[in-house]
Structure 1
Amino acid sequence: MTATAEGRSGSVTAAERLLWPWWSEGALETVRWLLEEGDMAAAGPVHPQIGECEQIASAVLAGGRPVMMCDSGTGALETAYAALRLEPGSEVLVASASFRTTVTAMLPQRLVPVLCDVDPVTGAIDLRDAAARLTPRTAALTVTHLWGRPVPLDAVREFCDRHHLALLEDCSHAHGARWRGRPVGTAGDVAIWSTGTWKPVSGGRGGLLTTADRTVWERALVLAQPKHRALRVRDEVLRALAETGAGHNRRATPIAAVLAADHLRRLPHTIAIKNERTAAVERLLAEHLPVLVPLPAPAGLTSGALYKWHWRLHDTDLDTGAAARALRTAGVRASRPARPLHQAPLFTDPGLGRAVGLAQIAPPDPSGYPGTAGLLERLVEIDTRDMYDPLPDGDPDPYELALTTAATALHARTRSDRKARLT
C-alpha cells in the first residue's frame, strides 16, 4: 500500500486501519521526478539519492559506520557472507528460530549452517548450546535480532572473539534498536538491514550493509556495486577485479533509496508511535483478554520498537490456532509464528538443495531444540502494520472492540469444548 497518512479522520475498526508502509508527499514527489528523468540505472560512482540514503542510514542505524545500499536484504546478506571470505565448507552457527534468509543466503557460498537452540524467554541464540556445536570447521556466528528483539551484543561479541569466529548481525527486524545504548549492527564484523516489504524502514525493496573492516568493505563494493563505484577501492587486486565485477549486480534503485531515506528520517517518530500504541494495546489486552500475555521486553533493550508482537496463550483449554482465528475474525492481524528452521524441508530432507545445485545440508539435531520449542509454544503473532500512526484525537482504540469481540468468541469456544468433554 502506497499512501500518506495525512488527511485521515474519523474512527476506524482494527481491520480498517491504514497499513504500513506509506511515504511523505515530498518523497513521492521526488519519485515522480526520478521517473520523469528516466535514469534508473544508477551505474555511476554513487547516485545522489542512493548516496544520501546511505549517509542517513550511517547516522541513524550504524553509529557512523559506512553503509552501502543493495537491491534487497537478501542481496546484502549474500554479499556479507561472500565479503567475509570464509572457506567453502566452513560452518556457521545460527539460531533455529531465525528468518529463513539468514540461513539460505549463506548457501551459495558453500557454507554449512549449524542450527543452534535459543533461550526460550528471550529468543536469543543459546551460546552454551552454540559452544557445544563448535568444530574445527566453525568459522562464524550469525545472530538475528528476531522480531526486533536484540540479542546481548556483548555476549555474542565476546563469544566470537574467544573462539576466533566472524560475527554477522542480521538486523532486518530491528531498525533503530539499541542494546544497552549500543546500536544493533555495530558489534558484528559485518551487519545488514532489510529495507524491503513492510519493514519499519522500507523502500519497497532494498538492503543495507555496514562494516568497520576496510577489507570486508572493499570486497563488498566489488561484489555488489557498479563498476565505477567499485573502482574506487584501494586494494590493487580488488580494483583489477572491479573492471569486470564478480558476477553479481546488487545495486539498489534510486526510487528505493528515496523511499527508504524518507522512513529513516522519521524513524525516531515511528519508534515513538509504535511504542505508544504497543503500551496502549497491552493495557487493553490485560483488561479484555488476559489469557494472552505479551512476551516480556528483551533485557537490555534501550531503544527501538518491536517489528512484530507475540502474545502467549496461557489457557491450556484453548487451542492457539483457535485464538489466532478469533483475533483475525475480530479484525486483528494475527497468525501463528513461522515454524523453526529445523522443521523446514531444507533441513528435514538434507539432499533437497541439490535440486538447485546447493551442497547437501547437515540434518538437524535429532535430540531437538527445546529452547526453540519453548519460545514458540502457544505463541500468537501480531502483524503491527496498523501501528504506525497515532489514533485521531478522541477516537476509541479499535483494538478495544476487537479484543472484546475475540474474548467473547473464545469464551464461548471454551464453554462448548468443556461441555463436549463432559458429555
Structure 2
Amino acid sequence: MAAAGAGHPLIDACEELAADVLAPGRLVTLMDSGTAALETAYAALRLEPGSEVLVSSASFRATVTAMLPSGLVPVLCDTDPATGGIDLDDAAARITPRTAALTITHMWGRPVPLDAVHALCERHHLALVADCSHAYGLAWQNQPVGLAGDVTVWSCGTWKMASGGKAGLLATSDHAVWERALVLSQPKHRALARVRDERLRALAVTGAGHNRRPSPIAAALVADHLRRLPHTLATKRERQTAVELLLDRHLPELEPLPESAGRTAGASYKWHWRAAGDHPVDTVVQALRAAGVRAGLPARPLHELPLFTDPDLAAHLGLAVQLPDPASFPGTARLLDRLVEIDTRDSYEPLPDGDPDPYDHALTAAPERLAATGPLSEEG
C-alpha cells in the first residue's frame, strides 16, 4: 500500500499501483533508479558498517556495489546452477560473526527457493534484501516474490517489464524501515508529509545528502507498464515457447535451461540456451547475430571483475571488499559454461496478425552460417 503524502499525483498513483500489483500490503516508494532503491534499502536497514552481506557472484553488479556506500562488505557466494540464484549451502558456509544480511536476486526471472531462504535467515538472524528487477509478476509456489524480503527492490529502467526509462521501487512491511527510506531518498516536503518519527522528521528537514526524487514522467510510464503487466507476461511466455520450438527444429545444439522449480507465475526476463555442440560458444553467438538474433554471452561473474581481483582498487576509493578465491565458485562456472543469452526486447508485444515470426527466418539462416565455420574441438 502507499501512504498519502505531499507528492506528485502521478508518483502517488504509481506507488499505489505497484503495491497492488507487486507487493500487496507493503509500503512502496518510487525512486529515480533501481540502484538508488538498493542503496536506500541497505542504508534503511541500519546494518553496522563493516557488517557482511552474503550475495551471489552471479548477481547484477549494482545489487552488490549499492551496499558499499553504507560501509557494508559483500561476501560473494557460489551460484546454484539449477536456479541461477545464490547457493544457500555455500552461503551458510561463509557466515561469520559479522554476517548481518543475505541478498537474493531472481536472476533472469528464475526464482530462488524462498522456503530455504527464509529458513537460513531465521536460523542466523539475517536481514533479507530481495532484488526482483528481473522478476516482475514472478511467483514462487503461488507467493509473489515481492513479499519475500525485509526490503524488496525493483529496477524500472531500460528494458525491464515495467520501465520508466530510469526509476526504481522499494517495498517493505516494516514501517520504521520505510520511514528511514523516505528520509534517505525523498524530497523534504514528501518525507515530512509521511514520516511520524520525530527524530526522523528533524532529519528530513535537511535530508541526508541524497536526492533520489523520481520523475512524474517516469512514474506515468511505470504505472502504464504495470497495468499492462499481465499482457506482457503472457506475450513473453508465448514468444519464448515459439522460439524454443524454432530452435528445436533449426538449431538443436542449443539446449534450453530446465524450467525453474517452484515458479507458478511470471516470465523469463532474458532467454538462455546452452551450446551443446562442437562449435565454440563465441562462434554460435556470432552465427546467431549474423542471422539477426540479439544473442550474446551473459555478464561475467563478479568474482572475475577488477573490484574483486585488484587489492588496491577498492582501497583507492575507501571501499571495503573481500577478495575471494576464484576457484571457490564451481556452481557459477557450471551455470555460465557455454551459455548463450538472447535479448528479449523484441518479445514484449505479440506479432502483428499475419506477420511471419522473424525468428523463423533468423534461425533458419543461423545453422547455415554455423556450418560454414566448421566444427572445432577447442574454444578460441
State the TM-score bracket (shorter-chain normalisation): over 0.9
Q: In structure 2, what is the equivalent of residue 144 of structure 1?
A: 105
How has the CA–CA distance of structure 1 residues 302 and 109 changed in structure 2, closer, same or farther, with 3 Å as cutoff? Answer: same
| Closer/same/farther in 2, CA of residues 322 and 366 from structure 1, 3 Å limit | closer
- Tell me, yes or no, if the aligned pair for 1:62 and 1:185 is still in contact at 8 Å: yes
CA contact (8 A) 2:72 2:320 kept: no
Alignment of 1:227-266 (within 5 A): 227-231=188-192, 232-266=194-228
Q: Does the 8 Å CA contact 1:347/1:363 hold for their aligned counterparts?
A: yes
Q: Once the 2 structures are TM-superposed, how far is the Cα of residue 354 of structure 1 from its aligned partner?
A: 2.9
Q: Deviations over 1:68-123 (max 9, x none)?
A: 00010000000000000000000000000100000000000010000000111221
Written as runs of structure 1 = structure 2, the 5 A alignment for 1:275-314 is 275-314=237-276
Normalising by structure 2, what TM-score?
A: 0.96
Residue from 156, 159, 166 that aligns with 1:205: 166
Same amino acid, percent of matched pairs:
68
Query: Paired residue for 2:286?
Result: 325
Equivalent residue, structure 2, for 1:194: 155
2:82 aligned with 1:121: yes
Task: Identify the residue that residue 373 of structure 1 maps to in structure 2.
Answer: 333
| Equivalent position of 2:309 in the other structure | 348
Asked whether the equivalents of residues 141 and 166 of structure 1 are also in contact (C-alpha less than 8 Å), the reply is: yes
Alignment equivalent of 2:34, drawn from 36, 50, 73:
73
Cα RMSD over matched residues?
1.2
Does the 8 Å contact 1:312/1:378 carry over to 2? yes
> Is the Cα contact below 8 Å between 1:351 and 1:360 reproduced in 2?
no
The answer as to whether partners of 1:353 and 1:361 remain within 8 angstroms in 2 is yes
Aligned to 1:361, what secondary structure does the other structure show? coil
Any conservation in 2 of the 1:352–1:360 contact (CA below 8 Å)? no
Letter of the aligned partner of 2:129 in structure 1? L
Aligned equivalents of 1:324 and 1:243: distance in 2? 53
Work out whether 1:63 is the aligned partner of 2:33: no
Counterpart of 1:271 (choices 223, 229, 233) is 233
The correspondence for 2:320, drawn from 360, 366, 370, is: 360
Deviations 1:7-46 (A, max 9, x none): xxxxxxxxxxxxxxxxxxxxxxxxxxxxxxxxxxxxx821
Instruction: For 1:265 and 1:175, locate their aligned partners in 2 and report how far apart those are by CA, in whole Å.
Output: 12
Paired position in structure 2 for 1:393: 353
Residue aligning to 2:53? 92
Q: How many aligned positions are there?
A: 372
Structure-to-structure mapping, 1:22-37, within 5 angstroms: none
Is the contact made by 2:68 and 2:320 (CA closer than 8 Å) also made in structure 1?
no
**Contact conserved, 1:170 with 1:191, CA < 8 A, in 2?**
yes
Alignment-mate amino acid for residue 74 of structure 1: T
> Does the CA contact (< 8 Å) of 2:250 and 2:364 recur in 1?
yes
Q: Determine whether 1:46 maps to 2:4.
A: no
Q: Which amino acid aligns with 2:340?
A: V
Structure 1 spans left out of the alignment, 5+ residues: 1-43, 419-423
Partner SS state of residue 192, structure 1: strand
Q: 1:365 deviation in Å?
A: 2.2
Give distance in 2, aligned partners of 1:219 and 1:342: 32
Equivalent AA in structure 1 for residue 56 of structure 2: A
Report the Cα distance in structure 2 between the residues aligned to 1:414 and 1:128, rounded to whole angstroms. Answer: 42
Q: Which runs of 4+ in 1 moved over 6 A?
A: none
SS in 2 for 1:185: helix
The amino acid that maps onto 1:359 is: L
Per-residue deviation, 1:350: 2.8
- Secondary structure class of the residue paired with 1:223: helix
**How far, CA to CA, are the matches of 1:280 and 1:309 in structure 2?**
12
Amino acid at match of 2:301: P
C-alpha deviation, 1:335, in angstroms: 0.4
Report the Cα offset of residue 366 of structure 1.
Answer: 4.2
Task: Name the CA distance, whole Å, in 2 between partners of 1:187 and 1:397.
Answer: 38
CA contact (8 A) 2:52 2:101 kept: yes
Matched with 1:223 is 184
Task: Output the amino acid matched with 2:246.
Answer: L
Kindly indicate whether the alpha-carbon contact (under 8 Å) linking 1:93 and 1:114 is maintained by their aligned counterparts in 2.
yes
